[in-house]
Structure 1
Amino acid sequence: MTIIQNSTVIQQPIGDVYSFLSDLNNHQQLMPDNIYNWTSTADEAQFTIKNMAKLALKISQRVENKELVCVPTNEAPFEVSLRWQVEEAGEGQTKATFIIEAQLNMMMKMMASGPLQKLVDHQVSRLKEVLG
């Protein structure tokens, strides 16, 4: 299992950060420029990654003020889950961690690790910008 992750501390209470992340409509604000054709509800999102693939994700698990897990709704090229974890980091602060877990063979790992790490880094920094 390949695990790619990044964290940031946001100057917002945990409830506010969790509430933002638990609605997939908000995740469009966290996406990089190579994402288009975005459609979403609170529980599902569909989008296209430029020159790559069309993806559809749904929230498979919610643990209030702790964690949110998304999985593909249709057949993905490899097993993958996207997980946001939030924890208190002091008075009115929240540590948010974005984790992608993927079942990648060596070839896929060489090709996908870089882009997946860029995606994780981008989403974490955008979350900090948006919720600042």
Structure 2
Amino acid sequence: MKLESPKVIIDKSAQDTFNFLSDVKNFENLMPENISKFEVIDNDTFLFALKGMPEIVLKKKEAIAPNKIVLGAAGGKIDFSLTANISETSENSSEVQLAFEGEFNAMMAMMIKGPISKFIETLTSNMPNNI
């Protein structure tokens, strides 16, 4: 299953945007309002939970400055990745799109598609005001 967020324009350079998203503790500022838990485990790993959902642990798997950051599931039963694609639009402006990718059976995909789409849209819509 592949899902993509809408693209958003950030009033920061691609490098500044990359630096912000490279620091996993900054994801707390991008989380939806219904977050019930956020905990930084180490420099590359954080845990979060939304109300009514299980805890999810994400680990930074890849970082290619200033264009790409890949977060992946750290353990758990479900393997997926969340990739931030950053492109420079001008010297002081960049564009970000999040891409979610995971292998799920048809029933699971049907159940999680809506909530995950909403989640990645919320993360991107919170970026312009927080980066």
Flag whether TM exceeds 0.5 (same fold).
yes
Q: Which letter does structure 1 place at the counterpart of 2:61? A: S
Partner of residue 54, structure 1: 55
Alignment coverage as a number of residue pairs: 129
TM-score under structure 1 length normalisation: 0.91
Structure 2 unaligned spans of 5+: none
1:7-55 alpha-carbon deviations (Å, 9 max, x no partner): 1111111111000000000000000122222111431101222212011
Instruction: Answer yes or no: is 1:5 the counterpart of 2:29.
Output: no
Q: Which letter does structure 1 place at the counterpart of 2:50? A: I
Further displaced range: 34-43 or 81-90: 34-43
Tell me if structure 2 keeps the 8 A contact 1:18–1:66: yes
Equivalent residue runs for 1:116-127 within 5 Å = 116-127=116-127
Matched residue SS, 2:32: coil
Equivalent residue runs for 1:1-132 within 5 Å = 2-6=1-5, 7-40=7-40, 41-76=42-77, 78-131=78-131
RMSD: 1.2
Shift >3 Å, 4+ stretches = none
Distance 1:31 1:42 in 2: 18
Q: Which letter does structure 1 place at the counterpart of 2:121? A: D
